[in-house]
Amino acid sequence: MKLSSVISRCRVESKILFKSNFSIKGITNNSKKMKENFIFTAIQGKQFDGHKFIQDFYHLKNFAIISNCKNKVLKYLKKIPENFSLIETNYPIKLCNEIASLIYPNNISEKIAVTGTNGKTSVSEFVRQLWHIYGFESASVGTLGIQSSKKHKKSNLTTLDGIDFHKTLSKLQKIGCKKIVTEASSIGIDRWRLFPAKFDKLAFTNLTRDHIDYHKTFRKYRESKLDLFRNYKTSNSLAIINSDDPNSTFFLKECKINRIKVLDYGFNAKFLKITKIQIKSNLSIIKIELNKKEMEIILRTICEFDILNKFCALLLVKGINIKKNDFSNLNKLSMPRGRFDKVFDKQFKVYIDYAHTPDALKNVFKGLQKIKKKYLFALIGCGGNRDSGKRNLMTKIALKYCDKVIITDDNPRFENPEKIREEMLLGINKKNLTRIYNIGNRRKAIEFGIKNLKKDDIFIITGKGHEDYQIIKNKKKYFSDYKIVEKILG
């Protein structure tokens, strides 16, 4: 496909300077991946300026640069090569991702995007598993990586970089995937990583404090989530909304403005309304009204958030065609790795969970409260260079629901881990401080927690879940909560 042909098909406004109309073989924003007949997107980031790498491309036979600053490009090129084109635009990332969608096309029949503070990973994985149960070749893309029956690949991002997203969809289609579900993070939406994809179904799980370090205000955080329903819908899109969340009114209003049909779920819902949940042993007996028809559902779970996530997933898969017998498939689902994962259950119980926000902690602790016989122990930590305002909130929530709390290091990044733990203890009174153990070394903290467990106690290790690393400064060091527990308990 020729450069001029690709640009002419893009909706993002741009103009080509120094035209060299070559056949495009790829696009990248990583200078190390730049090749002949490629387009490079020069982005000015917080730490790096992509324009600085342009001077490394002189040896290439044909290449083009996308930029919003012609003068910067000329500054680093110094001399204009004959085989060069400059694509000037006010929206380099959007244009880059739109070009990627044309270079790496797909014909996947159904695309779903899930957004919310918590539950994105579980809902996406449940959707993928349900599709498999119903006989569809499918894939999920998100925090756990790219997962299908034929492919598994790790990812460092909740929402893939735009180029990788379109490349991934193209590859999944080639191996037979008919349906995909992706997690849509607020940062991913804000950075146009999914652009210009359109989704057949859009889901909203919940909204609580997170990523304030990036968005600065909760309102801006919410607006980024709402953008999914503004910019990524089709004329026939269906929205699945958790009506119990206080922010659901904003999403319902956005759906009304954009003429998106809504199927809601929860205690306040109109379509899938929960009227009662009763916990018996490890089961939940749930009374619901499905499109105003009463029925009783039994699920092998003890957590309200797990019930909501599974209902959301089933609605995403079945939509308006959902029937009572579809709910039995929810008991065939496996929890995603690192999500309320019971890893030991003998004289005491040990769980590992990814919860790293105040609301996520509250949800898992409330679930465990329903089955605890004696003491509930929790291990919590907070990441560095992230929203510091939530640190002592997380400690207060742990103290509210748990008998003992171990504070330890998560991913300190470039912050002093001791300082992070000190901020987690701000505002805690002397009486509650006696219930807290401050153990920075995460391995020792887990060992301490397990060695102090007695019969019928529960220990929940939170924050990292499936992650098998700790980020200290700019280095990833191998670390797995699972491996530590396995080593101690066998």
pLDDT of amino acid 228? 98
Q: Which amino acid type is present at position 207?
A: L
Supply the pLDDT for residue 477.
95
pLDDT of residue 453: 97
Paired with 23 in beta bridges are 2
**pLDDT at position 490:** 82
User: For residues 206-219, b (16+ Cβ closer than 10 Å) or e, as one string?
Assistant: bbbebbbeebeeee
Q: How many CA atoms lie within 13 A of 308 on its CB side?
A: 26
pLDDT of residue 156: 85
Give the 3-state DSSP-derived string for 396-429, with helices as H, strands as E and coil as C: HHHHHHCCEEEECCCCCECCCHHHHHHHHCCCCC
Rounded Cα distance between 311 and 314, Å, is 5
What pLDDT does residue 79 have?
A: 83
CA dist list (Å): 51 to 17, 293, 428: 16, 60, 48
Domain residue extents for the chain = 3-102, 105-332, 341-489
Phi–psi pair at 276, nearest 5 degrees? -165, 140
CATH code for the structural domain at 341-489: 3.90.190.20
Question: Averaged in consecutive runs of 10 residues, what is the pLDDT profile of the chain (490 residues)?
Answer: 94 91 95 96 87 91 94 87 92 98 97 97 97 97 92 89 97 96 97 98 95 93 97 97 98 97 98 96 94 95 95 98 97 94 95 94 94 96 93 97 98 96 96 97 98 97 95 94 95
Phi, psi of 385 (to 5 degrees): 55, 35
Q: Identify the CATH number of the domain defined by range 105-332.
A: 3.40.1190.10
Cβ atoms of 158 and 143 within 8 Å: the answer is yes
Question: So what's the pLDDT on residue 136?
Answer: 96
> Which pLDDT score, from 0 to 100, does residue 220 have?
97
Distances in Å between the Cα of 99 and the Cα atoms of 19, 94, 158, 293 are: 17, 9, 22, 47
Q: What is the pLDDT of residue 281?
A: 82
Cis check for the bond before 196: say yes or no (omega within 30 of 0).
Answer: yes
Please give the structure tokens belonging to residue 166: 């379109």
Contact 478, 469 (CB under 8 A): yes
- CATH superfamily of domain region 3-102: MurE/MurF, N-terminal domain (3.40.1390.10)
> What pairs with residue 351 in β-bridges?
342, 460
